[in-house]
Structure 1
Amino acid sequence: MLPWQTDPENYAHLFAQKCDDVETSMHSLALPEAERFSSPSESYRVRAEFRVWHDGDEINYVMFDPANPRTPVVIEDFVPALAPIRTLMPRLLEYLKPRPVLRRKLFQAEFMATTTGELLVTLIYHRPLDDAWEEEARVLAREFAISLVGRSRKQKRVIGQDFVVDEFFVDGRCYRYRQYEQSFVQPNAPINEAMLNWALRQGKSCSGDLLELYCGNGNFTLPLASSFSNVIATELSKSGTRAALENLRDNSVENVEVVRLSAEEVSEAMSGVREFRRLAALPKPLADYDLRTVFVDPPRAGLDPATLDCVRQYETMLYVSCNPKTLKSNIEALANSHGVTRYALFDQFPYTAHIESAVLLQRR
């Protein structure tokens, strides 16, 4: 299905079929039976992005079919989005139509919402944004009680704040997360909460200190920290590192050290190939940590050979994957040293072929 197409009445069947297909593709690995976590059939996405299509006095949100990229498809209601986004979308268009300062050369609209009702809108233009734009944009933000970001080439104007704060309940505790506009966030709020709870359940059975690769904004870091004495969380992105540090501070999590390193650099540091000044800021030498558990949530390409060699040293590995094919390849590469003891499937992307997988691997 295309991004705007849904079929709530048949969701349960579609989800079961997708899980069956993934488990069949993994059959040769002899994995344990997968726990399956379904999504709500609608109103689950925390963000939505649309081109803004101008046709005379009319403007509409549109998306495009990759098979027919020149024909815009008007989106009147984006069913996957959280309720605050769906409610605001038509109201915002009606507000913009009679206001040329706000609508002129408006190219794209991006929405980010939270489960608690916060809403951030980013409007992207093919023209510079002046003080007249900002004056009207402030009125718009007050009208709808939202934060607003205006973007154009080499320009960003923020009205309110450029992030929202969402809440997820994990093992009875509420964690608050800053989610910045145009930064990666887990797209499906209910499924993210299910993933966090699953990961923490597995973390409670692990030992030693934790090394986390690709920590992002600290999404998994915060709850997992409660199961370990010390955590070293690594992330290459400057914005991700900043958000992780802010989220750790806001949630009073004090046993985590965030280091801005890539997975490849971590591998080099752990093997002694290179020394990194950024590691000098740790409270004690890297060798003095009791790192026996590693958590990874890599990009779709999975773990590269050097990172596989690095994680192979750990007793326990928690691996969250957005690509079953690369997950399978990585499990096969680790088969001589580690076996899968827990397996779960999470429907981050209903009505698509994509699914999030998670496994717990233990040293043989």
Structure 2
Amino acid sequence: MQLLDYRPDECESLFHEKTEGALRLLSRLALPDPVKHASPPSGFRLRAEFRVWHDGNALHYAMFPPGDSRSPRVIDNFPIVGPRITEAMAPLRARLQRSTELRRKLFQVEFLSTLSGELLVTLIYHRPLDESWRAQALELAEALSCKIIGRSRKQKLVLDTDWVEEMIEVGGQHYRYRQPEQCFTQPNGIINQKMMTWLLAQCVTTDTDLLELYCGIGNFTLPLSQRFRNVLATELSKPATAAARWNAEHNKTSNIELARLSAEEMTAAMADERPFRRLAHLKQALNQYHFETLLADPPRAGLDEATRALAGNFTRVLYISCSPETLARDLATLSVTHEVESLAFFDQFPYTHHLESGVVLKKKAV
């Protein structure tokens, strides 16, 4: 996390500046008018992490300027975090400060919360943790009504579970999500819900199949599964794939298959370049799917060259991007075969230069 330039009165205008910058990058393309989804100016972030600064007997949350580990900025409050984190920050710091056992060589505190009110706190240390630590951490968890994890080098002590459970309504249906610690989840829960709703609205019910790359814990997979005959969702992270599988099973979906493959590996599999044992469990062979739609939510690096070529073969491409620069590069390639049907911007990260975009592309008529 970066230091906060908190300007709530300018939140909407800052978002407008980012969208205008993105449109300049995409200016060579024929674009529809974008839909813009602004974030609340405060209380939107569901995860946060702070270094711990020890100043004599005092203990503070702190952040540091980039490249400067000797100039802590003490954080007394952090207005962008959600209510569950806000409620816990001060009492947690006070209890840590009073406990020699809990504060000793404490290096960092990480918060993971949900819109539905759960909270998981991870305490990271530069020392081994023992039963004395566990006993006091259990008291801390009970006092704050939260889950606690202790971490140090090669050690992880989970006092309850290492995940929180979220409940999100999309298109009139409620979905349960297990969100593990240290798996990527969308940090702005309100904007994430808007992204899910927007994506669902872009898809009509069809008897064709969806291929999803970078599915994470199944954030978009679950609601979109109601629109397609089958969904094959891929993700490289082992814990994220396990969470996505749990989420699919506990939401009683029957048409989602998951495979632990990178986008590059899935592209190779689709081209029949080599067999992958991690696809052997599928209910049907890869060539028996009737894929017409591709959903990709890549990291900031965007799509690699081979995956861009793969996307060119699909009738429709749903692209969620967190980097306007790599989005512009990828769309320059895809515009040879596709045209942009819908465009949306989402202020997932207010007060930063980062911008989330949603693009729907359809195959050009021959």
Which region of structure 1 is more displaced relative to structure 2, 59-68 or 244-253?
A: 59-68
Aligned to 2:257: 257
Which residue of 1 is the match for residue 112 of structure 2?
Answer: 112
TM-score (norm 1): 0.98
What SS class does the counterpart of residue 204 from structure 1 fall into?
coil
Mapped to 1, the partners of 2:316 and 2:34 lie a distance apart of 19
Deviations 1:266-320 (A, max 9, x none): 1111111111122121111111111111100011111111111112111110000
Shift of 1:226: 0.4
Residue in 2 aligned with 1:338? Answer: 338
Equivalent residue runs for 1:104-143 within 5 Å: 104-143=104-143
CA distance in 1, matches of 2:334, 2:46: 35
3-state SS of the aligned residue for 1:362?
Answer: strand
Task: Give secondary structure in 2 for the equivalent of 1:70.
Answer: coil
Give the distance between the partners of 1:273 and 1:37, measured in 2 at CA.
41
Mapped to 1, the partners of 2:125 and 2:206 lie a distance apart of 49
Hey, what's the Cα distance between the residues in 1 that align with 2:68 and 2:107? 20
The residue matched to 2:60 in structure 1 has which SS?
strand
Match of 2:19 in 1: 19
> Match for 2:317: what amino acid?
M
Pairwise CA distance, 1:17: 1.9
Give runs of aligned pairs for residues 77-156 of structure 1, distance below 5 A.
77-156=77-156
Gaps of 5+ in 2: none
Gaps of 5+ in 1: none
Q: 1:219 to 1:278 in 2, by over 3 A?
A: same
Aligned partner of 1:55 in structure 2 is: 55
Aligned pairs for 1:263-282 (under 5 A) are 263-282=263-282
Moved over 3 A (4+): none
What is the alpha-carbon distance in structure 2 between the residues aligned to residue 163 and residue 86 of structure 1?
A: 19
In structure 2, give the amino acid aligned to 1:131: E
Distance 1:29 1:55 in 2: 54
Which residue number in structure 2 is paired with residue 308 of structure 1? Answer: 308
1:70, distance to aligned residue in structure 2 (A): 2.2
SS in 2 for 1:10: helix
- Are the equivalent residues in 2 in contact too, given 1:4–1:75 (CA < 8 A)? no
User: Offset of 1:31 from its aligned partner?
Assistant: 1.2
1:205 Cα offset (Å) = 6.5
Distance 1:262 1:13 in 2: 37
Q: What is aligned with 1:234?
A: 234
CA distance in 2, matches of 1:69, 1:29: 43
Give, in angstroms, the shift of residue 68 of structure 1. Answer: 4.1
Secondary structure (helix, strand or coil) at the match of 1:211 reads: strand
**1:170 paired residue number:** 170
Give 2:220's aligned amino acid: F
Counterpart mapping for 1:289-328 below 5 A = 289-328=289-328
Pairing 1:202–2:231 present: no
Asked if the contact 2:30/2:339 (under 8 Å) is kept, the reply is: no
Encode CA deviations 1:123-153: one digit per residue, 9 max, x unaligned: 0000000001001110111111110000000
TM-fit CA distance, 1:213: 0.5
The 3-state SS of whatever aligns with 1:257 is strand
Provide the alpha-carbon RMSD of the alignment.
Answer: 1.3
1:69 is displaced (CA, Å) by: 3.9
TM-score, structure 2 as length reference:
0.97
Aligned-residue offset at 1:169: 1.1
User: Does structure 1 conserve the Cα–Cα contact (< 8 Å) formed by 2:2 and 2:63?
Assistant: no
What is the CA-CA distance between 1:67 and the residue it aligns to? 5.8
Whole-Å separation in 1 of the counterparts to 2:205 and 2:333: 24
May I ask how many residue pairs the two structures share in their alignment? Answer: 364
Pick which of 297-306 and 6-15 moved more.
Answer: 6-15
